[in-house]
Amino acid sequence: MLTDPLFWLVAIPAVLITGMSKSGFAGGAGGLTVPLLALAISPATAAAVMLPLLVYMDFLSVRSWWGKQNTAQLWILLPAAIVGIVVAYLLFDQLNEQYLRGILGVISLGFGIYGLTLGEWAQRKPSALIGRMCGTIAGFTSFVAHAGGPPLNAYLIPLRLAKTEYLGTAVVFFAVINLVKLIPYSMLGQINLSNLLISASLAPIAWIGVKLGLRIQDKFDEKQFKTIILSLMIIVGLRLLWTAFNP
């Protein structure tokens, strides 16, 4: 894999974008990573390679946002997310590579369309029940594709939290669930020496992405950047669905 030019062609921009997203810039953009990597490697391997990198990026970004999170909302979201992770773990062995590509394609396509069309429509403040539902979905999609951003945003954005409180809550939420995911990923044999070596080779790119995201937050048109990423999610989602149904 490390000698495959196609892997590096998709891995470098994917990890860079994820690092920028982890910094709090263009939240949800990291959902592109696993679908993009799955164009070059198996979806399960793509998710496994990214998890240690996500934990590393969480460590870098949490320090900047700690203390700004809404603890009450985290108590609503996190237990539900853990339920979603457990459900995904129990179903994981039933999914072959073709099914995983199909799921990734649906997630990428659906979240891309949601972000471009419906993401700004929510007006009413959601209830705690809606928060638990979104948290469960975020845990499931985060386990499968590290793509928990859209379900989380569907709940957090209508709450109209201050920007720093919203970002702090999202950053801490994903830091916790990524640590939790290490347990089932290890039980599935996905955290192994081969995948860890690939993760380590991409760690400098992850560091650059986080630092770049923190630096350009107030200097770059975030909305335009997110539009580009969401459009890419739709394209990648369609491609994954094509490969899933035409193996």
CA distance to 30, 53, 73, 100, 171, per residue, from 22 (Å)? 7, 11, 19, 24, 7
Please write the tens of the pLDDT for every residue from 47-64.
888 899 989 888 887 887
Name the residue among 59, 64, 62, 1 with its Cα closest to residue 202.
Answer: 1
pTM beyond 0.85? no
Name the residue among 3, 206, 215, 183 with its Cα closest to residue 89.
Answer: 183
What pLDDT score was predicted for residue 102? 76
Residues of the chain with pLDDT under 50: 121
